[in-house]
Amino acid sequence: MKKLFLLRHAKSSWDDQVARDFDRPLNDKGKRAAATIGTFVKRENLTFDLVLASPAVRVIETLEHFEEACGLAIEPQWDRRIYLASSVTLIDVLRGANDEAESVLMVGHNPGLEDLVFDLVPDDGSSAARDEVETKYPTAAFAELSLAVEKWEDVADNCGSLDRFTRPRDLDPSLGPKYN
């Protein structure tokens, strides 16, 4: 059994004039949301053997605020394939993970992360958390999955269960959409 954690980057700023989407930084709300999820991870005593992350600026900044709040030393493997990747590409990235890693944190973007949950977790009506993901996988949301595989190369459709789905607004209502 492998554990997969998925963290969508926090809210980015559309006010900054950047030449490329790749270079968009976080806004203040995004910084707070990333730290809030990091505090949650610390409180829940979660750890990661491997971190796979998109090298986009908003992911780098998300991890900076997340790491400071959770107190873990995060040393991501930056993988350009994760930037705006489809679920199929994300599964390929996971299949290449070192099998010594029992728990992997993947940090990236939507719609790929959302679609990855849909591909890995069967839609059999038994997961309220999956239903929440269907409603929306907002920025800085954090998913915890259990995968019924012994090796990362065996990751396949419907091999997992969604154990938990946590949004920043679940932890701090001021991070919800009505508080822009």
* Domains defined for the chain, CATH in brackets: 2-179 (3.40.50.1240)
Percent helix / strand / coil, the chain, rounded to 5: 40, 20, 40
> Which candidate, 34, 40, 38, 37, places its Cα nearest to that of 59?
34
- Here the tokens at position 15 are 């006010």
Q: Is the pLDDT of residue 45 over 70?
A: yes
Confidence of residue 19 (pLDDT cuts 50, 70, 90): confident
- Here the tokens at position 162 are 């969604």
Q: Is 43 annotated as a binding residue?
A: no
Cβ contact 31:65 at 8 Å: yes
Diameter over CA atoms, the chain: 45
Q: Is the pLDDT of residue 50 over 60?
A: yes
Q: Is 152 helix (H, G, I), strand (E, B) or coil?
A: helix
pLDDT value at position 178? 66
pTM for this predicted structure: 0.95
Q: What pLDDT, in 10s, does the model give residues 60-86?
A: 999 999 999 999 999 999 999 999 999
Confidence of residue 21 (pLDDT cuts 50, 70, 90): confident
